[in-house]
Amino acid sequence: MASPAQSPGPVTVWWARPLDPDTHPRLVALLDDRERTRMAAFRRPEDRHRYLAAHALARLVLAAHLDADPAAIAMDRTCRCGEQHGKPTLAASPESPGFSLTHSGELVGVALGPGAVGLDVEQHRGIEVDGMSDHVLSPAERSAYTLDQQSFLVTWTRKEALLKVTGDGLSSPMTGITLGPPDTDAVVRDWAGGPDGPVWVRDLASPLDDHPAAVAGLGPSAPDVRTEDGDAVLSG
């Protein structure tokens, strides 16, 4: 797989809580038609709340960075299949910043960096670790590690963040990535079919203890990662 341009950093991450579209029409108005249609299609209210907060936050963060109207920012979601359901990117110049959205449970996040970046958060929940391991852990990891729910979610967030860097998401198998032990600093030991160059990944302390998170990008080492208040951005 060809490697996109490296991201030298720094990376900034904004964290926020989900918001009800019915009580936040100003934020709903920032979304484009495709985003509003997608949000309305969710059957569960909590999914709509997370979607609104994450996508409105991304638009506001990008607008501040680009000195642009958040509602006028054009998003490209072209998947490898040609349909518009892939990772959102800016439909702009190659100099546009990289960004990544994530949401789970009671938290949404947006990461912004000068190059490709991936962000993931996962809420602690009942997970059948043994049943999921075959879909998440590489053969080398399955033979080396016995994971509880906490360490399994740490591994999951690290891998999901890495896959978001390339834009592949879960269309590329997590089992192709081999990481170091989850109780040590994150290290990518092998990535079958991954980027040609080096990649980095690091754990993040999210605002909620039961929501482990990770951020990833391209390059030999992790840059500075700054954390900001996304709730303040959404309410501004």
Residue 59 lies in a domain: yes
Give the pLDDT of residue 33: 94
Contacts of 179 (CB under 8 A, 6+ apart): 141, 155, 158, 159, 186, 187, 188, 189, 201
| Confidence band for 161, pLDDT divided at 50, 70 and 90 | very high
- Is the predicted pLDDT of residue 170 greater than 80, yes or no? no
Residue 196's identity, in one-letter code, is D
- Is the predicted pLDDT of residue 156 greater than 60, yes or no? yes
- The answer to whether 160 and 118 have CB atoms below 8 angstroms apart is yes
Burial class (CB in 10 A: 0-12, 13-18, 19+), 26: exposed
| Confidence band for 6, pLDDT divided at 50, 70 and 90 | very low
Residue 5 lies in a domain: no
pLDDT digits (tens, 9 = 90+) for 171-217: 689 999 999 999 999 999 999 988 889 999 999 999 999 999 999 99
- Is the predicted pLDDT of residue 159 greater than 60, yes or no? yes
Give the residue with greater pLDDT, 222 vs 95: 222
Instruction: Give the chain's domain count.
Output: 1
- The answer to whether 7 and 115 have CB atoms below 8 angstroms apart is yes
CA 35 to chain centre: 17
Owning domain of residue 190 = 11-235
Residue 52's identity, in one-letter code, is L
Q: Give the CATH number of the domain where residue 114 resides.
A: 3.90.470.20
Residue 6 lies in a domain: no
Give the pLDDT of residue 86: 62
